[in-house]
Amino acid sequence: MREYVIVSDATIDLPMEIINQYDIRVIPMGVEIDNVTYSHYPDERELSIEDFYTKLKNGAVSHTTQITPSIFMDFFGDILKQGLDILYIAFSSGLSGTYHTGQMVIRELSEEFPEQKIIAIDSLCASVGEGLLVLNAAMQKQKGMSLEELSAWVMEKKHSARHWFTVKDLFYLKRGGRITSLEAMVGTALKIRPILTTDDCGKLTVNSKIRGSRAVIDFLLSKLESEGEELEEQTIIIGHGDDLAQAQELEKLIRSRDLVKDVVISKIGPVIGTHTGPGMLAVVFMGRKL
């Protein structure tokens, strides 16, 4: 059996220590801020996440770019030249064309490397939800799953990844077309925070609208309790957009109830942060949709 590696996109928003621990290969993605382009790597070598949010708070305008065919070609090609097969777990096709671009490149590389395997899976997940799926896949790989076995596992489990998150500033959702200008204006005036999740196609949907930060945290906690399965065996992820205190408050509540095996707090990087803004809070776990 040929050795293989797990590859994903910079949208996974996992801490660098986890990426290193499980040898997850991460393709960088582009962010343009006030006409300056940065490549976002998990180690933040070109732009720290803290500096990114500082720029946003100071009025900078940020845009993201998809992974280009040439970047895919170089990244996958370097791995294949090492004699390794690839399992590519991609950012949701419901939010980006990245998966389809990757498939196009994979077809071309399969002709150049006919003896090797590249399997691409549309995660239907985003941000730390995508990261959670990748982390769980990496854990299964360490247990000895073959490429084919793990591919089947990911295809089955991707529908079990539950994403729940909220944002503080509705401007970023409005700019991305997730809510209308009127909704953003009224919501801001009333200090309403939308609760978002993903649908079966991997697209974002507004599930609820809640007033007050504590009410938001209680709602996220309730979703973990009601939708989570075998939580005592799970490592879950709390993601935050430059608001560690809010993430720690949610973590403290979860740990006080002894709900899960472990909690990872992770920073939301600039690719996702461009669309959610400062103050985003997420909890992701494996479970069932109610």
- Calculate the CA dihedral of residues 245, 225, 273, 200 and round it to 10 degrees: 180
| 26 sits in which H/E element | strand 25-27
Beta strand pairing status for 29-33 and 62-65?
antiparallel
73-97 confidence digits (pLDDT tens): 999 999 999 999 999 999 999 999 9
**What is the average pLDDT score of the chain?**
92
Indicate the number of domains in the chain.
2
CATH of the domain at 188: 3.30.1180.10
Mean pLDDT across 268-288: 94
Query: Which pLDDT value is given to residue 114?
Result: 95
Mean pLDDT across 182-210: 74
**Do 174 and 278 fall into the same domain?**
yes
Query: Which pLDDT value is given to residue 182?
Result: 45
- Last residue within a domain, chosen from 108, 135, 159: 159
Task: Give every CB contact of residue 222 below 8 A, 6+ residues apart in sequence.
Answer: none
**Do 106 and 196 fall into the same domain?**
no
Beta strand pairing status for 281-286 and 161-166?
antiparallel
- The Cα 197–Cα 209 span in angstroms is 12
**Do 132 and 87 fall into the same domain?**
yes
Task: Give every CB contact of residue 3 below 8 A, 6+ residues apart in sequence.
Answer: 83, 84, 85
Query: Which pLDDT value is given to residue 210?
Result: 86
**Do 25 and 95 fall into the same domain?**
yes
- The Cα 165–Cα 220 span in angstroms is 8
Provide, rounded to the nearest whole percent, the portion of the chain with pLDDT above 70. Answer: 92
**Do 12 and 143 fall into the same domain?**
yes
Instruction: Look up the domain containing 206 and give its range.
Output: 160-286
pLDDT score of 174 more than 80: no
Mean pLDDT across 133-150: 97
**Do 109 and 154 fall into the same domain?**
yes
Task: Give every CB contact of residue 2 below 8 A, 6+ residues apart in sequence.
Answer: 83, 84, 85, 116, 117, 147
- The Cα 237–Cα 289 span in angstroms is 18
- Last residue within a domain, chosen from 159, 188, 209: 159
pLDDT tier for residue 243 given thresholds of 50, 70 and 90: very high
**Do 56 and 113 fall into the same domain?**
yes
Q: Can you tell me whether residue 200 is helix, strand or coil?
A: coil
- Whether 119 and 87 have beta carbons less than 8 Å apart is answered as yes
**Do 210 and 144 fall into the same domain?**
no
**Do 192 and 238 fall into the same domain?**
yes
**Do 190 and 52 fall into the same domain?**
no
pLDDT score of 70 more than 50: yes
Q: Counting Cβ atoms within 10 Å, is residue 133 exposed (0-12), middle (13-18) or buried (19+)?
A: buried
**Do 154 and 180 fall into the same domain?**
no
- Last residue within a domain, chosen from 159, 176, 202: 159
CATH of the domain at 116: 3.40.50.10170
**Do 224 and 255 fall into the same domain?**
yes
